[in-house]
A and B are shown apart, each in its own frame.
Chain A
Amino acid sequence: MYSFEIERPATIAEAVAALKGEDAQALGGGQTLIPTLKQRLAMPGVLVSLAGIDAINGISRNGAGEFCIGGGSTHAAVAGGAGAYPALAALAGGIGDPAVRNRGTIGGSLANNDPSACYPAAALGSGATIVTNAREIAADDFFQGMFTTALDEGEIITEVRFAVPEVANYQKFEQPASRFALVGVFVAKYASGVRVAVTGASEEGVFRWAEAEAALSADFSAAALDGLTMSAAGMIGDLHGTAEYRAHLVAVMTRRAVQAAG
């Protein structure tokens, strides 16, 4: 690790100001950033810890009935506090291990947009709204490929708003070593239709599976998926699984998610 300064703002405004500094970077739970620093793969001059900003911490419901999760909320907080959206709580409870869940945050996970991370599937699969210090971004516009998002430099995720679906489920097939998602599929059924978001599989990062959404919107049953397959083109192939295997798992996990959602 290279040495760095640390700032601990108490408000969003202070954090935004601190992030304007040269080589400044936001620090959420540090569960991705700290390992990166330990390997000397990044060299920020200042880390701006978001952990002390009360305004981005906590879970509530808004007037529209949306579930509003502060960007600094830990995975453990969501696992324990999102009972009204069980699929989301279960997803958060399945991330990493207790140490990771007690530190890692939803804002950090979405900002990082690891192609194998879980939260991007929930956000895209729920059509969530990502709220920042500057604007609101629809999930459909937020994820822009592996480790790439619509966030501008120094922009902070302050809240993530989820409309609660009728039923939903997340199926995660774990990569044996990291236990991130080798393939994860989030299925959510809303009155307006079904959304299916896939993580872990694509070289483009999290994506929606349009054919499955159409089939399930017409008939929300595993049978509706019969005959639907995912093409291996553009899927990740590595030592944990070929592109074909991942494409196959997308179909299997989608079916299981529908079955589990009931």
Chain B
Amino acid sequence: MPNDIGHSASSKRREDVRFLTGVGNYTDDIDLHRQSHVVFLRSQVAHGRLKAVETTAAAAMPGVLRIFTGADFEGVGGIPTGWQITSRDGEVMQEPGHPVLAQGKVRFVGDMIAAVVAETEDQARDAAEAIELDIEELPAVIDMKAALAEGSPKVHDDLTGNLCYDWGFVEDNRDAVDAAIKAADHVTTLELVNNRLVANPMEPRVAIGDFAPGTGDSTLYTTSQNPHLIRLLMGAFVLGIPEHKLRVVAPDVGGGFGTKIFHYAEEAFCTFAAKALKRPVKWTSTRSEAFISDAHGRDHVTKIELALSKEGDFLAVRTDTHANMGAYLSTFAPAVPTWLHGILMAGNYKTPLIYVNVKAVFTNTVPVDAYRGAGRPEATFQLERVIDKAAREMGFDPIELRRRNFIHDFPYATPVAVEYDTGDYDATLDKLLEISDHAGFEARRDASAKKGLLRGLGINCYIEACGIAPSNLVGQLGARAGLYESATVRVNATGGLVVMTGSHSHGQGHETAFPQVIAKMIGIDENMIEIVHGDTANAPMGMGTYGSRSLAVGGSAMVRATEKIIAKAKKIAAHLLEASDADIELKDGQFSIVGTDKSVAWGEVTLAAYVPHNYPLDDIEPGLEETAFYDPTNFTYPAGAYSCEVEVDPDTGRVTIERFAAADDFGNVINPMIVEGQVHGGIGQGIGQALLEGAVYDDNGQLLTGSYMDYAMPRADDLPFFQVDHSCQTPCTHNPLGVKGCGEAGAIGSPPAVVNAVVDALQRAGLDVTHIDMPLSPARVWSAMNS
């Protein structure tokens, strides 16, 4: 039975009331006294030498306060990178400078050349158009393999070339993997592209810089998933503002999906300019701007080889990936194709030998960084596609081939450095076959055939590493930050709680789920608990929300802080009851002496803490407020099995998703409705990647998919009703809640199911199609069928 915990397990999301009735407080809703507006002049060429930026005429235009160019940022720090990757040869990665405004060169369409601050946005835009640019266009570096070829133009003149790093993992296994592949009965090879995506959160990015001349304090309001990280990166590395003089506020944020993790130059600009002008400076991205300035996701080109015995045992996996970094290194960019990708290459299988090679490449494109799943979808996609291909080549049932190779004994140390604590991959697969009515597929296929449509079935498994991450481990791997999380639990005199967390909610429902955890621990109504997040002025230093970490890591910090609260409250209760605190138990909001009917209520104890007339002042301080920092000892490993049934129209190549099922093991579940919602959204994005989405550059570095006219977002009618299940629960063994994280699973698990299903449909129709690159647009499917 699922262990769905909490007083009312599927509590309705309390935050939705304000979101859905238009009374949220998003960054763009904030307007400050004497606020000015900035418009960025962005490069329209992908690669060019910036010879002159003539601003005199523009600066004289109505309303213009000041125009900034790269020259204003000489001596100011550049936008930093949070990870350093070491190449196979022991050299650290090449790390180019990233000035706030372009200096010397422009390196992608969207690169910021100048910033016009004016009284109104329209005035700023008018003046931006009047700036005269002299740019000597250079050949654009777009294709990753061409970028690494001898003689390719360089994105950064001061680097040795366009290779950021050449990472091998596990390098010591390389020869053994090569030998195993050479000696194997069968080797299946697959070359594929993991398509570049634009995150497209509903709310575009916004930044407002503010400066208080009286105190010298700076404030940045920004659409961020991790305000503390922005404060640290921007304060320490870019602007040189100590953290106690810098406040970062990320209020309601309308979706992030990764792209709002990173520290962006616009944030640094607004903070810098507010101080320079002694006026608030606001920037609101247009949707068109978002396409060319929000970090993109994915963009891997991969060759994977799977070696098998003739019985179907996986013997070795070797992969070779080119990962696009874009023009500059975004905050987490170097980590995504390496530590979030290579360590997942075992999947759910006991493959003994694995070697992953990743070449990260600079190109004249928007920087690429984490997007929902970040590295794990790329790992899952190639692995689950190559397994499907191997099954076909060798005549195995793709389900049985997977089962045969499942890991059964936990904990399990993979050959790619991580140790899975728990899992039951047969259980999720069995559950999947049940909820997807696997047995009914043939009948549904016949029904489709009668309509002239080709039906196919795709199944895959997935595993991910969430609950990111043990600080000492990531430190060894090159992270320049710790990845703990924090919580301060402040109990008020009348018994209500305010919980300040470093986790940040931008759609995940923290304000609902987090109180459920604490309410259960104390035995009080969850409505007595308020979650406060998103403001460095009141929340303790925390690392924010991404990598499905908030409940596993942030929730654990809350549990630890609440445990401290309860321990202290028991001491107060013991005093009030004239008993020993060892004899006090807390149940349903009542402290009682074990074995007696003597008790005091939660509210009496909290009142005593703040009105300490009758209080053990010699032993403990008044007040009831505790902080805890939680640093996980391992990743968590959610896993599951997904299935997709498609119909392909043979005349047009159009694919429709007819059924989609997901059986996930997230460990314990606090709020099943929120979990299901997260899975639904993830699947929506995964299907988006598989069928619709794809950012495409032409050879000159122009983004051909720069608006919704050409970038296809998934819409409700592209998706079927989903069957989702989370009843297979193997709780995480190393965090106090036993939770694993559910935010990214849907986006990780779904693309291979879709592509496997389409290939299955075509193969069943007798077509020799072994792979189609995403997105599986009608045109691509039709071409594959007719080539």
Contacts and interface: CB of A to CB of B under 8 A. Distances in A.
Interface of A: 1-3, 39-40, 173, 176-178, 182, 239-242, 245, 248-249, 252
B652 A241 contact: no
Contact of A242 (B129, B654, B783): B783
A39 B122 contact: no
Contacts of B122: 1, 3
A194 to B, nearest CB: 21
Contact of A239 (B125, B705, B708, B783): B705
Given A40-B125, A239-B704, A252-B652, A176 B692 contact: yes
Interface stretch (B137-145, B635-643, B774-782): B774-782
B777 A176 contact: yes
Given A39-B288, A177-B712, A249 B652 contact: yes
Contact of B711 (A2, A177, A182): A177
A94 B410 CA distance: 55
Contacts of A242: 779, 783
Contacts, number: 46
| Interface of A, helix, strand, loop or mixed by DSSP | loop
Contacts of B651: 252
Interface in B742-787: 775, 777-779, 782-783
B783 A176 contact: no
Nearest to A240: B779
Interface in B608-658: 651-652, 654
B709 A177 contact: yes
A198 B43 CA distance: 38
B782 A245 contact: yes
Contacts of B775: 176
B783 A245 contact: yes
A240 B709 contact: no
19 contacts: A3-B122, A40-B129, A173-B654, A173-B778, A176-B691, A176-B692, A176-B778, A177-B692, A177-B705, A177-B709, A177-B710, A177-B711, A178-B708, A239-B696, A239-B704, A239-B705, A240-B779, A245-B779, A245-B783
Interface of B: 122, 125-126, 129, 288, 651-652, 654, 691-692, 696, 704-705, 708-713, 775, 777-779, 782-783
Contact of A178 (B126, B696, B709): B709
Given A176-B775, A241-B779, A252-B652, 12 more contacts: A3-B122, A39-B288, A173-B652, A173-B778, A176-B692, A176-B712, A176-B777, A182-B778, A242-B779, A245-B779, A248-B782, A252-B651
Contacts of A178: 708-710
Given A40-B125, A252-B652, A177 B779 contact: no
Contacts of B779: 240-242, 245
A240 B783 contact: no
A225 B280 CA distance: 67
Contacts of A173: 652, 654, 778
A3 B120 CA distance: 13
A177 B708 contact: yes
A178 B652 CA distance: 18
A179 B29 CA distance: 32
Contacts of A1: 122
Nearest to A180: B709
A245 B713 CA distance: 22
Contacts of B696: 239
Q: Which 4 A-B pairs have the closest CB atoms?
A: A177-B712, A241-B779, A176-B712, A178-B709
A245 B785 CA distance: 12
Contacts of A39: 288
